Amino acid sequence: MHYFVTLHTKQTQTMKKFLTIAIILTTTACSMVQRDDSEATAVATEWGEAFFNCDYHAAEALSTAESRRWLQFAASNTTQQDLDLLRQHPAEVDATDFFPEADDTLRVVQLVVRHSLSPAVNGGQSVQVEEALFPVTVVKRNGSWMVRMASLPRSEKQSHD
């Protein structure tokens, strides 16, 4: 009987150690994911503030190398009137949501941008849009989160549910 109690006690202690280690590992993993989510969202927001206020150098510092051509294109199509409009009413950016994608190195962050510029059409003048929703892809490269542009940002219609 004493052998059974001793064996049962050892099994219980082993099980407690196993559960403690499992809890620590789970907590650590969750903490890392939350930190990644926060960092990705912060980078997307900072990038959005730079990009939508036509500070393309600051946006480039937060972008992947392949995004550079899109930043150059945006800069080459920015007029003095655009800059004057933004000086009067700077674009304001807030992250509203994020979506982890295929793996732990990619997030799509939804940015709400107030006073963004709507590009001039057929030689017309740019106008500021009251509010628009932009999805921004953020990737983790060499331990840092960066915005990856596959094109210029396009606004999505915002649901008012």
What are the tens digits of pLDDT across the range 81-132?
999 999 999 999 999 988 877 677 899 999 999 999 987 665 678 889 999 9
Least confident residue range of 45-49, 63-67, 126-130, 142-146: 126-130
Task: Say which CATH architecture domain 2-147 belongs to.
Answer: Roll (3.10)
pLDDT cut 70: percent of the chain above it: 72
Q: Which regions of 2-126 does DSSP assign to beta strands (E)?
A: 92-100, 106-118
Separation of first and last alpha carbons in the chain: 66
Query: Cβ distance 96 to 111 under 8 Å?
Result: yes
Question: So what's the pLDDT on residue 102?
Answer: 66
- Quote the distance between the C-alpha of residue 85 and its chain's center: 26
> Residue ranges per domain, the chain?
2-147
Average pLDDT over residues 53-61: 97
State residue 15's pLDDT score: 66
Map residue 134 onto helix, strand or coil. Answer: strand
